[in-house]
Chain A
Amino acid sequence: MQGFGVKIGLAAGLLVAGFGATPAMAEKVKFEFWYGLSGDLGERVQDACKKFNDSQANFEIVCTSQNGYPETVQNAIAAYRAKKHPAVVQVFDGGTLDLMLSGAFVPAKKLMEDNGYKIDWSNYFPGIANYYATAKGELNSFPFNSSTAMFYYNVDAFTKAGIQNAPETWEDVEAAARKLKAAGYACPFGFSFDSWATVEQFSAIHNQPIATKNNGYDGLDTELTLNKTKLVDQLTFFKKMTDEGLFVVKTKQLGMDVVPAFTSETCQMIQSSIADHGTIGKTIKQGAKWDVTMLPVWKGTARQNSMVGGASLWVLNNRPEAEYKGAAAFLNFIAQPDMVEWWSTVTGYIPVTKTGFEAMKAKGFYDQPAFKGREKAIASLTFTPTSANTRGIRLGGFPQIRKEISDAMEGIFFGKLTVQAGLDQAVERGNVILRRFEKTYAGKALN
Chain B
Amino acid sequence: MNKRAVFKSWWLPVLFALPQLLLILFFFYWPAISVFNWAFTLEPAFGGAGERLFVGLDNFRDVFADREYWRSVSLSLFFAFTATGLSMLIAFVLAICVDRQLKGSGLFRFFYIWPYAIAAPAVGLAFRFIFAPESGLIAVVNTWSPDLWNPAKYGSHAMILIIICFAWKWIGYNFIFMTAGLQSIPRSLLEASSMDGSGPVRRALDIQIPLLAPTLFFLLVLNLTESFVGPDTFGIVDLTTEGGPNKATDVMVYRIVSEAFRGLNYSGAAAQSLVLIALIMVFTFIQFRFVERRVHYK
The answer to whether A and B belong to the same complex is yes
Residues of A within 8 A of B (CB): 70, 73-74, 77, 80-81, 98, 101-104, 251-256, 397, 399-400, 403, 407-408, 410-411, 414-415, 417, 429, 432-433, 436, 439-442
Docked pose: A440 CA to B258 CA in angstroms: 18
Question: Chain A residues with Cβ under 8 A from B240's Cβ?
Answer: 253
Closest to B263 in A: A400
20 A–B contacts from the bound complex (CB under 8 Å): A70-B261, A73-B264, A77-B45, A98-B46, A98-B264, A102-B44, A103-B46, A254-B152, A255-B139, A256-B134, A256-B135, A397-B264, A397-B265, A400-B259, A400-B263, A411-B245, A414-B154, A415-B155, A415-B246, A436-B265
- Once the chains are docked, how many angstroms separate the CA of A436 from the CA of B58? 11
B285 to chain A, nearest CB (A): 32
- Contact of A254 with B132 in the complex, beta carbons under 8 Å: yes
Chain A residues whose CB sits within 8 angstroms of the CB of B267 once the complex forms: 440
Chain A residue at minimal CB-CB distance from B55: A439
A102 to B49, CA, bound (A): 9
Q: Are A255 and B46 in contact (CB under 8 A)?
A: no
Q: How far is the CA of A436 from the CA of B264 in the complex (A)?
A: 11
* Bound-complex Cα distance A77 to B43 (A): 12
Q: List residues of B whose CB falls within 8 A of some A CB.
A: 42-47, 49, 53, 55, 62, 66, 68, 128-129, 132-136, 139, 150-155, 240-242, 244-247, 258-259, 261-265, 267-268
Closest B residue to A442 by CB, please name it. Answer: B53
By Cβ-Cβ distance, the 3 closest A-B pairs, closest first, are A255-B132, A255-B135, A400-B263
Query: Does B246 lie within 8 Å of A255, measured CB to CB?
Result: no
Distance in angstroms between the alpha carbons of A252 and B241 in the assembled complex: 9
| A253-B242 Cα distance, complex, nearest whole Å | 9
Contact of B42 among A102, A397, A433, A439 (CB under 8 A): A439
Which residues of B lie under 8 Å from residue A104 when comparing CB positions?
Answer: 46
Asked if A400 contacts B265 (CB within 8 A), the reply is yes
Docked Cα-Cα span, A400 to B129, in Å, equals 26
Determine how close the nearest CB of chain A comes to the CB of B149; give it in whole angstroms: 11
Residues in A neighbouring B55, C-beta threshold 8 A? 439
Contact present for B151 and A253 (CB under 8 Å): yes
Assess A436 versus B62: contact at CB under 8 Å? Given A98-B264, A255-B133, A403-B262. yes
| A77 and B46 contact, CB distance less than 8 A | yes
Q: How far is the CB of A395 from chain B (nearest CB, A)?
A: 12
Partner of B263, one of A101, A397, A442: A397
Chain B residue contacts of A436, Cβ below 8 A: 42, 62, 265, 268
**Seed contacts A81-B47, A253-B244, A414-B154; 9 additional CB < 8 Å A-B pairs:** A70-B261, A77-B264, A253-B245, A254-B135, A254-B150, A407-B244, A411-B246, A436-B268, A439-B53
Give the distance in Å from the alpha carbon of A253 to the alpha carbon of B241 in the complex.
7
A429 contact set on B, CB distance < 8 A: 68
Q: How far is the CA of A372 from the CA of B107 in the complex (A)?
A: 59
Residues in B whose Cβ lies below 8 Å from that of A397: 263-265
A253 vs B47: C-alpha distance in the bound complex, in angstroms?
36
> A220: shortest Cβ distance to chain B, in Å?
12
Are B45 and A102 in contact, with the CB atoms below 8 A? yes
Given known A253-B152, A397-B264, contact A81–B246 (CB-CB < 8 A): no
Please state if A74 and B244 are interface contacts (CB–CB under 8 Å).
no
| Chain B, residue nearest A408 (CB) | B246
Q: Which residues of B contact A102 (CB under 8 A)?
A: 44-46
For B262, the chain A residues whose CB sits under 8 A away are 70, 399-400, 403
A407-B47 Cα distance, complex, nearest whole Å: 30
Q: Which residue of A lies closest to B151 (CB)?
A: A253
Q: How far is the CA of A80 from the CA of B47 in the complex (A)?
A: 9
